[in-house]
Amino acid sequence: MPKSELVRWSATYSVGIKLIDDQHKGLLDLVNDLFNHVSADEATERAYFQKVIQTAVNYVKVHFATEEKIMLATRFPGYAEHKKAHDTFVLTVVDNIRDFEAGKKFTLAGFTRFLKDWVLTHIAIMDKQYFTYFKQIASRKANGRLTINQGDLQRR
């Protein structure tokens, strides 16, 4: 069966940092993977969700930690608000998982829609704020570029 895309990466989502863009692409891949497992069979959806959700949560946590390290390293003034949005998202997902594990009504389509909407809105609004900030910093560099290496983040 061919895979469908609920959402496709576009350069308009780019925040100008390859590492973050690659992670955002991974989040969209996750959304599309969930979308491709939506079916009319609730038991199948529940089994799939149970199998993949912890991996998805871990991926999101790594992504958020990466963004937050970059924000701290560059003294991004919107860090506190951005971190709060990340923390609120994680709590919402954890609440969804608890409800799922408690046997409450669950639809993979609903969860996928929530994830897609949150990720796209977050990239378009909040992540673009640090993109603008990083461009301002980069414009003050001699070569006009801001380079943040993975190794730099691990040393902080």
The letter for the amino acid at 54 is Q
- Res. 111: pLDDT tops 80: yes
- Res. 2: pLDDT tops 70: no
> 91: helix, coil or strand?
helix
- Res. 156: pLDDT tops 70: no
Query: What per-residue confidence (pLDDT) applies to 145?
Result: 53
Query: What per-residue confidence (pLDDT) applies to 146?
Result: 53
pLDDT interval class at 152 (50, 70, 90): very low
DSSP code, position 7: S
Tokens of 111: 């969860």
144: phi > 0 → left, psi -120 to 50 → alpha, else beta; which?
A: left
- Res. 140: pLDDT tops 70: no
Distance CA(54)–CA(137), nearest Å, equals 36
DSSP code, position 106: -
- Res. 5: pLDDT tops 90: no
Which has the higher per-residue pLDDT, 139 or 110? 110
Distance CA(52)–CA(150), nearest Å, equals 27
pLDDT interval class at 74 (50, 70, 90): confident
**Mean of the pLDDT values across residues 85-107?**
92
Note the CATH number of domain 16-155: 1.20.120.50
C-alpha neighbours within 13 Å on the C-beta side of residue 9 = 14
Contact 70, 148 (CB under 8 A): yes
Per-residue pLDDT of 15-55, as tens digits, reads 888 899 999 999 999 999 999 999 888 889 889 999 999 99
